[in-house]
Structures are given as C-alpha cells and as structure tokens.
Amino acid sequence: MLIALAVSGRGVVDPDEPVVFADDEGFLRGRAAFETTRVYGGRPFRMDEHLERFANSAARLNLPPVDRALFHGLTAEALAAASEPDCFVRLYLTPGREGGDEPVSLVLVESLPPELEETRARGIRVISLPFGLETSLLGGVKSTSYALNMVAVDEAKRLGGDDAVFLGPEGVVLEGPTTNIWWRSGDVLYTPALELGILQGVTRGALIELAVDLGYEVEVGVYPLSALAEAEEAFTSSAVREVMPVVALDGRPVGDGAPGRAARGLQEALRRCASAG
Ligand SMILES: Cc1ncc(COP(=O)(O)O)c(C=O)c1O
C-alpha cells in the first residue's frame, strides 16, 4: 500500500493525488526506469547500488540521466512523511509528456506486504516458464515494461504455484519475474550468471558476500532446470521479499519440501547486515 509520495518539482504530495499525465511516455509506451529497495529502520538498503543500477537502466532506455541528488532528497522527504521505519521505496524516472522535455522523478513509499513472514515460514512453489531474455535489447534493465513478468506470475498461480522461474533457450535457468533464483547442493550455492541477461539483483550481490561468511561456496554459471530440480533446497532473493525459500518446482518437492538451512541462515545474515547499516 502506498503511504507516501514525492515528485520532482513539487516534493511530498498527497499519495492520492494524480502526478503523471495521460501522455507520459512511461504510461503510453512503458518506457521508464524503476528501482525497488527495502528500508530497514528508516534507512534504504544499499541505496547507492540501487542508484547505480537505476542510472544504467535509464541510459539503456535512452532516458535523461538519473539525478542522484534529487532522488536522495525525494527519498528522504518521502520517508519522513511516511514515518514508517520498515517499508520499501520505489523510484521511477519517466521521460515525461510526449514531445516534452520534462522528465518526471517519483519516489513511492509503500508498506510491506503483511503476509511476507508467514510465506517465508511456509516457502513458495514455483513453476518454470520459457522466456527469451538474452535475445532482448533490454536484458538486465529494470524498465516499467513488466507486463510479461506480471502475467508470468498469474500463469504460475493458474498452474498451482506461487511464483514463476524463467527458462532461456535450451531450458537454462534464468531468474524469477521479480527475483533472482538460487539453490544448494551440499555446501555449494548456485545462482545463474549475469551474462544470461538477468537482472543484477542488489540482494543477490549482498548474498554472494554473506554466503561466503557463512561457509558456503558460491558458483555462478549456466545451469539446466534439472540442477534446480535435484537440489537439496532452493530460494529466491529480492529487495522486498529478501530470502524466500522455494519448496516445490513444477509440482514436485525441492529437497525435502521444506525451507532449507541456507535460506534461513542467509535471511538472518541479511537482516543483521541491513540493521548494521
Ligand atoms: C527481474 C528481476 N530479477 C531480480 C530481481 C531482484 O533484484 P533486487 O535484489 O535488487 O531486488 C528483481 C527485483 O526487482 C527483478 O525485477
């Protein structure tokens, strides 16, 4: 739920107020960049990394450059207005109105989904779906053209799952519609390589560091779906849902069908790291 909103040129506005015109190219064509970052104790997690990825997405979409100072300011104002220390923020940059040259920068503060911890304790079921990411000009870009990602989640639900995992040509594992995917065999953690055109998750980057501290080896590569299906446990990573155990793939249990030890350990480590600042 949207709890606060800040907009370039205006600052904090009522979240129920319209702030984007009907002929904004972000709306008309889905050409806009965005970022989502979780806020712990009033502080956005790894904001500079999110702004770096945001700037790259904007450049790849041929948008005007991201004004980092503006986004820092709008985020601070919106978080102060929200007065909710544990939440998440979404940053948006649109090119603005068709034929105009006034980009629109938006910061949305949202409350966390209430069912998150219950879902983490239970784990999620994922369904594999084909997706041709690496042939795309926009592989790895966080643009608002997420219709396919959202419809993939609907399709996974229709097939009895909670979320999807995308497969590239020849069935290689890519990522979820809004997450990166991981699995474990023994003390080795596996996650697909960025060269596949997947998003460079900020949470993925944090977990690669934290996993090593917990004694896991991390292997990044190109893997078939069978590697995930035969793993001892699996999980997804993302800013809002953090480390989410995956307990079933295509209707069959992953490992013993329960959340695993790496997911638990990494979730705890991520929280420790986030609260340390
Ligand atoms: C396609 C895709 N992959 C992975 C992720 C995870 O990235 P992060 O950990 O930065 O949230 C996201 C989240 O936004 C995403 O949209």
The rounded Å distance from CA 100 to ligand 1 centre is 31
The rounded Å distance from CA 208 to ligand 1 centre is 15
* Residue to mutate (ligand 1; options 37, 146, 179, 202; most atoms within 8 A of CB): 179
In the prediction, which pLDDT does 179 show? 98
Contact 131, 167 (CB under 8 A): yes
Predicted model pTM: 0.95
In the prediction, which pLDDT does 131 show? 81
The per-residue pLDDT for range 193-236, each reduced to its tens digit, is: 999 999 999 999 999 999 999 999 999 999 999 999 999 999 99
Which residue, by CA, sits nearest to atom 14 of ligand 1?
178
The per-residue pLDDT for range 233-275, each reduced to its tens digit, is: 999 999 999 999 999 999 999 999 999 999 999 999 999 999 8
Q: Which residue has the tokens 């023994």?
A: 186
Rounded CA-CA distance 56/219 in Å is: 25
In the prediction, which pLDDT does 202 show? 98
The rounded Å distance from CA 89 to ligand 1 centre is 14
Question: 233 is written with which tokens?
Answer: 């446990």
The per-residue pLDDT for range 93-143, each reduced to its tens digit, is: 999 999 888 999 999 999 999 999 999 999 999 999 988 655 577 888 898
Ligand 1 pocket list (CB less than 6 A): 36, 175, 178-180, 199, 201-204, 237-239
The rounded Å distance from CA 178 to ligand 1 centre is 5
19 pLDDT higher than 90: yes
Which residue, by CA, sits nearest to atom 7 of ligand 1?
201
Which atom of ligand 1 is found nearest the CA of 149? 1
Which atom of ligand 1 is found nearest the CA of 240? 11
Contact 1, 115 (CB under 8 A): no
SS3 call for 249? strand
The rounded Å distance from CA 239 to ligand 1 centre is 7
In the prediction, which pLDDT does 134 show? 53
Count of other CB atoms within 10 angstroms of residue 81: 18
Residues whose CB is less than 8 angstroms from the CB of residue 202 and which lie 6 or more positions away in sequence, other chains included: 37, 45, 46, 49, 50, 53, 239
Which residue, by CA, sits nearest to atom 16 of ligand 1?
178
In the prediction, which pLDDT does 276 show? 87
